[in-house]
A and B are shown apart, each in its own frame.
Chain A
Amino acid sequence: MPPLLELQNVHTFYGHIHALKGVNIYVEEGEIVTLVGSNGAGKSTSLRSISGMVRSKQGSIRLDGQDITSMKPHEITALGVGHVPEGRRIFPLLTVQENLEIGAWNVTSRAEINRRMEEMFQLFPRLRERFQQKGGTLSGGEQQMLAIARALMAEPRILLLDEPSMGLAPVLVEGIFEIVKRINAQGTTILLVEQNALMALEVARRGYVLQSGSLVLQDTSANLMNNEMVKRVYLGEN
């Protein structure tokens, strides 16, 4: 059985900048895997390469054995990849309801969309209160919930989460990570990118450490948390 998601020797460029230099990552069904690294290490670029927002120049990306390297974002989404982009990227002039409906773009049955929306309200009761409000008027935490809910509306097999804690108050960060665990427990595989390495490693089973576009370490979260280099550079311990 191939892993659910597999990146082999992926090279991605932004113009002349070599952002990913031969990255190998795999994610098994049901796992939470995290990518740890500092700014510009290529964490977001990895996610963007997977979902087709940038096309990698070399290497292969496979979903369940199927090559998705050169597919368009909307085709990759249809195959079961959900991506919560960095900075949330809510549609600011669409209402919460419309944002969620857009998330379920490929679902044709109205009843099914309503059922999924109801599920999202169970997960994020705040969104029900904000139902008819424009996305742009929500607070940062609410927008993050909406961004996650919007991606979940497609019922993806794997959810790519890019910096879900960015710009949120510490209390809210705890809440978001609780949600991440719950989503995973309900059967969604998760690939998580986080600045907050400690939080990320606490929820993840395995982790990869990226440095300027290359993988430098990969191990179980427990081992990574005990790794001297990780402790010093990413966990801020002496």
Chain B
Amino acid sequence: MAKETDSCVKPAGGPIAKAVPEGQKTSTQQEIQMTTARVGHEAPDFEASAFIKGVGFKNIKLSDYRGKWVVLCFYPGDFTFV
């Protein structure tokens, strides 16, 4: 198997919109619900490039973690103070 290479730019999907079944109309309210994180609702899926200690660089999807408890933590930036 070819060794996976990395380059300066590695696209990652970002937010992954949920497919609406063909022919089904959605209201604006439903569209907001599908694309905004809200308690009690499905977490919007996404793909991001990541660094993992001992593994290296890897693209990761939130949906890879189905079946596990996930804590998703956003923070303002590496090397900041808090």
Q: Do A and B assemble together?
A: no
| Interface set of B (CB-CB < 8 Å, partner A) | none
